[in-house]
Amino acid sequence: MVRRVVVTGVGLVSAVGIGTEETWKNALAGKSGAAPITHFDTTGFPVTFAAEVKGFDPLQYVEKKELKKMGLFIQFALAASQFAMEQARLKVTPDIAERTGVYIGSGIGGFDVIEREHTALMQGGPRRISPFFIPASIVNLASGFVSIRWGAKGPNSATCTACSSSAHAVGDSFKLIQRCDAEVMICGGAEGAITPMGVGGFAAMRALSTRNDAPEKASRPFDRDRDGFVIGEGAGILILEELGFAVRRGAPILAEVVGYGMSGDAFHITQPDENADGAVRAMRITLADAGILPEQVQYINAHGTSTQYNDRLETLAIKKVFGEHAKKVAISSTKSMTGHLLGGAGGLEAGLAVLALRDQMLPPTINYENPDPDCDLDYVPNQARKAEVEYILSNSFGFGGTNAALLVKRYVE
């Protein structure tokens, strides 16, 4: 018998809220987190706005002496893990420590630390480089710091698969529990790449919206006038548990994870497969893993980046997978509000999908004003919607043609 895996905690840090319930409340309200950049001087940059986490005080989650050892993405991961652990009412006691793992993805890691230490090198030579430079910036140290914080001694890993990173981390954690390698996984993703090199690099690719005069209107997934994504930051962490373990300890059960699929496009370094083949296979594998039909899915939290290629091809992929049912599936991109968290996106969006199941509410796609003939499905435009949903699919597609999809289900005893 396949072991059942449930979600008992969700921790979110985003441009629309620090904390799970604040993020969720503002997502349902359709609040945009995009605003002029404050992290650095944007003079001379073609893009001057982003979806920054506002008012974040790391000292609420990290001891002052520890801050110099960690990049911003690690700080976000620690904060989100605290919110998730509190919601799950979970304590990692010695008897379960070796059965509790951590798996946190990031697409870029500590860009802020890399840039800072490079400046120190250029200005003062190699002796000015901090001894904490490497551990503060490498991707797996989000998992490392979180495991140390909570005493989790089970499987410890990290993914770096571009914008699919944290969806892969959640999916892999689901499978670790299914195959008896862990009872509990603290999993998801984090990103803190709103830096001169981060913004400058994506702008050089022409991947970012240049709507500098109206940042709050810039992220407009599936809209005809979309012109690129809005870079975001933050973290999304989920607590996954084997069902029996969660029930025995009286944990709050928010949803059940029932499917996971991954695929590769083998097509282009940044553009999706022109036939959407990779996205199609990831979704079909996920549905097959759960043993359900496409007609049983009521809502999709789309990858929906607000770029021309992604939105058109994700729509095509959904039509191929769901056929006539595609017209009946509600779809929204919460990136329209949170911005695109890159490697942290899948964790944040999986968390929002769980909350949508909990409250039977679908967050909107804001800034959807001008329909695109190639994007002609139900994108829950501009207003949240009450709906009866049992299954939710969450998509994440990354540079290099790396795709992931997760399926969560309303929990029934």
Structural contact between residues 68 and 134, judged by C-beta atoms closer than 8 angstroms = no
At 406 the three-state DSSP class reads strand
Which residue out of 160, 187, 340, 375 is catalytically annotated?
340
Which residue out of 163, 168, 187, 375 is catalytically annotated?
163
Kindly state the tokens that stand for 20. Answer: 């799970």
303 counts as catalytic: yes
At which residue do the structure tokens 């793992």 appear? 101
d(Cα 409, Cα 296) in Å, to the nearest integer? 10
Phi-psi region for residue 112, left (φ > 0), alpha (ψ -120 to 50) or beta? alpha
Query: 388: closest CA among 408, 363, 365, 410?
Result: 410
d(Cα 104, Cα 374) in Å, to the nearest integer? 35
Query: 143: closest CA among 133, 154, 158?
Result: 158
Q: At what angle do helices 111-124 and 196-204 cross, to 10 degrees?
A: 110
Q: At what angle do helices 165-178 and 345-359 cross, to 10 degrees?
A: 60
DSSP state of 102: E
Q: Which ranges constitute the DSSP H helices of 89-229?
A: 111-124, 133-137, 141-150, 165-178, 196-204
118 counts as catalytic: no
Kindly state the tokens that stand for 350. Answer: 């999986």
At 377 the three-state DSSP class reads coil
Backbone dihedral angles phi then psi of residue 306, each to the nearest 5 degrees: 80, 20
Kind and range of the H or E run holding 101: strand 100-105
340 counts as catalytic: yes
The dihedral over CA atoms of 258, 311, 236, 50, expressed in degrees to the nearest 10, equals: 180
Which residue out of 160, 168, 187, 303 is catalytically annotated?
303
Q: Bridge partners of 187?
A: 103, 238
Which amino acids are annotated catalytic? 163, 303, 340
